Amino acid sequence: MTNHPGQVDFLSTDAAVLLVQRVGLTELLRGLVSALEQDFSRWEDFDKTARLAQHTPDGVMELMPVADASHFAFKYVNGHPKNPQLGIPSIMAFGALMRADTGAPILLSELTLTTALRTAATSVMAAKLLARRSSRTMALIGNGSQSEFQALAFVGLLGIQSLRLFDIDAAATDKLIHNLQTQLPGVQLQRCRSAAEAVQGADIVTTVTADKANATIVSRAMMQPGMHLNAVGGDCPGKTELDAAILLDAKVFVEFAPQSRIEGEIQHMPEDFAVTELWQVLRGEQAGRQHEDDITVFDSVGFALEDYTALRYMHALAQQHQLLQPLALLPQLRNPKNLFELLLPPEVPYHDPAPTHCHAMPFQPDLLRSPSTALSLIGVPTDIGAGRLGAAMGPDALRVAQLGPALVELGCEVRDLGNLAGPSNQRKPRDAEHGDLRNFGEAVAWNQAVHDAVHGELDAGRMPLMLGGDHSLAVGSISAVARHCRDTGKRLFVLWLDAHADFNTPETSPSGNIHGIPVACLSGLGPRELTHLAGFAPALGPQSLCQIGLRSVDAQEKHLIKTHNIDVFDMRAIDELGMRETMLRALAPLADCDPSQTHLHLSFDVDFLDPEIAPGTGTTVRGGPNYREAQLCMEMIADTGLLGSIDIVELNPALDLRNQTAELVVDLVQSLFGKSTLVKNVQG
Ligand code: NAD
């Protein structure tokens, strides 16, 4: 899974809980076991070190790093057995995942819950290799935080049917029984009075106690031939659970021997005490259990690779389930050498000179679009995403203003496909079940229809011109374009002409109107039904979008624009730079592009224009581009020769004067297709 440069995801405890609930604990553990098996099987790929530990009288604090060629991961974890008396867990953890090529962090995650999951999954991975297949009974000694996860993993994935429970704290066993009774209705739960009683008749013995001492939870005398010991609780110097005599008679398996010799049960044994690392058994290079009567011990201490696997696994799963939050952890810099820009007033970064790697695009009238362009007009008569009615009449107003004939006049081959059909606008209230958005189901239906129509025309080698409708429909059209670009290996670049950023998320939207959230949806934020129309998300990366003409942007939107590193030329930039310089900079990322490998999509909201010249739109904001500026903007887009698809949205004839806005739009669209005011190039 890849992040955009600078994008850091956050997986909170709440999100991890939701993920477990959505996927189901057993299924999640099953996937995690398989991911662990895969990573342990490529053992030599990892740069491994024993963890770094700082000991205090009551506990330990540890850092656990590991890396392969693609990622670096670390976990911070503590172990303070007396913490529950203070009302906090013994074990608390968090961790991060970094890309190895750039070192950029991509995920900061809770790891307290995830540690319990990965520890249980690792126990299962070991027991699959080491315990007798016929194992049905497990003793579970130590009934604290980890115990439910161990129990559920062994029951769900290894067929354990009976659990024998013991803890020196009877209340811990009460809690475990209570929790397991609802989760494991068919499983026999036996409370025992001692560890010895719990071990009797068990096929597998899991010890998961917490005491900073060399304890003897299980003695040699308690062991029976054929038992498998899953010793989880002994995991740092001076903190062990087993009678050392057990190790002498057993076959002992560890995660990473150099670390286990310091921290595991084998700290009691000489340096050359024979152990087998799990990966060797997984790959069939060393034997696991050889006889039914063998006593096997998995001396678990918890190794950084397990957290690496868990971080990557949970990250991918949380992305699928849209449970990640963006984290503003890294500075978003337009010029990576200008850290100081963070301290400048917020408007200044937008006005910075173009980064040095961008070239201003020379004025290229010879690149005017070929007159044989095959255009398909797709009417989308809905205002389902807007706050007021009227944009549904936009397609017909454009037809009345002779859009089709005006383009034919310029030599285009035009097919008007008529209007798409979709649900009517009942103007429903906000719907808490669907992100507190209005008309959610209807908007999804319309966007799906737009997606399919636009994608069909692109597949047929035609240029779709979507006649909206409100701006929520850009989710459908741009998702289709993104899908087409991915299928054909083209680079997508979207120019978004608008007075608004349309970058609210369902959570931040003040109105719940979906025409305020399309950029967020296209950036992967929002309900899955809208973010995944392309079949993947996000449809648009930050390098693929440039917004021009903004002048009404909410604070939350400004934040998202920054964190998503989106290029913005607001009205102040246009005032200061002029439209020509603005467009040169906006189009600079397309300089030197191979036209056969590049697709430029224009999403043109009519409220981009100054209301003086374009009153026929629902969300006018004073101070937009005037006629000449708008025309130059369109001509310079045409000059790229890269235009591949267009949205025209938010034209509202109900608010217009004698269809003048529609006529202006037709005029401007003509400029996109070669109608030029150019008589002589100013550059000679
Ligand atoms: P916890 O404090 O929530 O629970 C520990 C339980 O052990 C408590 O209920 C306590 O009463 C009980 N206990 C202590 N001494 C006992 C004894 N002599 N006999 C029976 N019960 C006893 O801790 P937790 O989060 O469940 O963690 C348990 C242990 O697992 C800790 O030692 C922790 O360091 C270890 N751990 C290991 C790994 C790993 O990968 N190997 C991962 C996570 C936790």
- Place 334 in a pLDDT band, splitting at 50, 70 and 90: confident
295 vs 371, more confident: 295
Query: How big is the CA angle at 457 (ends 533 and 534), to the nearest 5 degrees?
Result: 15
Task: State the average pLDDT over residues 142-163.
Answer: 98
Task: State the average pLDDT over residues 20-24.
Answer: 95
Ligand 1 centroid vs 209 CA: distance in angstroms? 3
Q: Which residue type occupies 531?
A: T
The per-residue pLDDT for 427 is 84
The per-residue pLDDT for 684 is 39
- Euclidean distance between CA atoms 439 and 423, whole angstroms: 10
Residue recorded with tokens 């690779």 = 305
For residue 460 the two structure tokens come to 């047929």
473 has pLDDT over 50: yes
Pairing state of beta strands 204-207 and 188-191? unpaired
| End-to-end Cα, the chain, rounded Å | 49
DSSP state of 424: -
Please identify, by atom number, the ligand 1 atom nearest to the C-alpha of residue 217. Answer: 18
Would you call 120 helix, strand, or coil by DSSP?
Answer: helix
The per-residue pLDDT for 2 is 53
Among this protein's residues, is 47 annotated catalytic? no
Can you point out the beta strands (E) in 483-530? Answer: 491-497
For residue 330 the two structure tokens come to 């890294």
Nearest CA to ligand 1 atom 39: 302
351 has pLDDT over 80: no
Please state which of the ranges 88-92, 360-364, 628-632 shows the lowest mean pLDDT.
360-364
Ligand 1 centroid vs 144 CA: distance in angstroms? 6
Would you call 191 helix, strand, or coil by DSSP?
Answer: strand
- Euclidean distance between CA atoms 70 and 65, whole angstroms: 14
Answer positive or negative: Cα dihedral of 298, 302, 305, 307.
positive
The per-residue pLDDT for 369 is 41
Instruction: Name the nearest CA neighbour of 39 among 19, 16, 68.
Output: 68
Choose the catalytic residue: 9, 203, 235, 656: 235
- Euclidean distance between CA atoms 638 and 429, whole angstroms: 41
φ, ψ of residue 94 to 5 degrees: the values are -150, 165
Say how many residues make up the chain: 684
Task: State the average pLDDT over residues 8-17.
Answer: 94
Please identify, by atom number, the ligand 1 atom nearest to the C-alpha of residue 90. Answer: 2
Q: What is the mean pLDDT of the chain?
A: 92
For residue 466 the two structure tokens come to 């979507």
| Mutation choice for ligand 1 from 146, 152, 173, 259, CB with most ligand atoms inside 8 A | 146
Residues with CB under 6 A from ligand 1: 79, 81, 84, 90-91, 115, 119, 141-146, 166-169, 172, 195, 208-211, 215, 217, 232-233, 235, 300-302
Characterize 216-252 residue by residue with b for buried, 16 or more Cβ atoms within 10 angstroms of its Cβ, and e for exposed: bbbebebbeebbbbbbbbbbbeebbbbbeebbeebbb
Nearest CA to ligand 1 atom 11: 169
Contact 439, 426 (CB under 8 A): yes
- Place 336 in a pLDDT band, splitting at 50, 70 and 90: confident
**Alpha helical stretches, state H, 73-183:** 83-86, 112-130, 147-158, 170-183
The per-residue pLDDT for 324 is 84
646 has pLDDT over 60: yes
Task: State the average pLDDT over residues 308-337.
Answer: 88
The per-residue pLDDT for 320 is 84
The per-residue pLDDT for 357 is 33
Q: Which residue type occupies 22?
A: R
Q: pLDDT above 70 covers what percent of the chain?
A: 94
Nearest CA to ligand 1 atom 44: 233
Contact 500, 607 (CB under 8 A): yes
**What distances in angstroms separate CA 350 from CA 402, 500, 648, one per listed residue?**
38, 15, 26
| Mutation choice for ligand 1 from 83, 209, 243, CB with most ligand atoms inside 8 A | 209
Q: Which helix (H) or strand (E) holds 39?
A: helix 25-41
- Place 363 in a pLDDT band, splitting at 50, 70 and 90: very low
Identify how many contiguous H helices and E strands the chain contains and give both numbers: 22, 26
Give the model confidence (pLDDT) of 111-138 as tens digits: 999 999 999 999 999 999 999 999 999 9
Task: State the average pLDDT over residues 234-245.
Answer: 96
DSSP letters spanning 345-408:
-TTHHHHSPPPTT--PPPP-GGGPPPTT-EEEEEEE---TTSSSS-GGGHHHHHHHTTHHHHHH
- Euclidean distance between CA atoms 430 and 439, whole angstroms: 8
Task: State the average pLDDT over residues 240-244.
Answer: 97
The per-residue pLDDT for 100 is 94
- Answer left, alpha or beta for residue 103, where phi above 0 means left and psi between -120 and 50 means alpha: left
The per-residue pLDDT for 373 is 84
Give the model confidence (pLDDT) of 586-633 as tens digits: 999 998 888 889 999 999 999 999 999 999 999 999 999 999 999 999
DSSP state of 620: -
Residue recorded with tokens 């039904």 = 529
The per-residue pLDDT for 682 is 57
Please identify, by atom number, the ligand 1 atom nearest to the C-alpha of residue 91. Answer: 25
For residue 412 the two structure tokens come to 């285009």
Nearest CA to ligand 1 atom 40: 302
Give the model confidence (pLDDT) of 56-82 as tens digits: 999 999 999 999 999 999 999 999 999
> How crowded is residue 193: how many other Cβ atoms within 10 Å of its Cβ?
9
Strand partners, 96: 74, 108
The per-residue pLDDT for 205 is 98
Give the model confidence (pLDDT) of 536-577 as tens digits: 999 997 689 999 999 999 999 999 998 888 999 999 999 999
Nearest CA to ligand 1 atom 8: 144
Please identify, by atom number, the ligand 1 atom nearest to the C-alpha of residue 215. Answer: 18
* Distance, CA of 564 to chain centre: 13
- Place 407 in a pLDDT band, splitting at 50, 70 and 90: very high
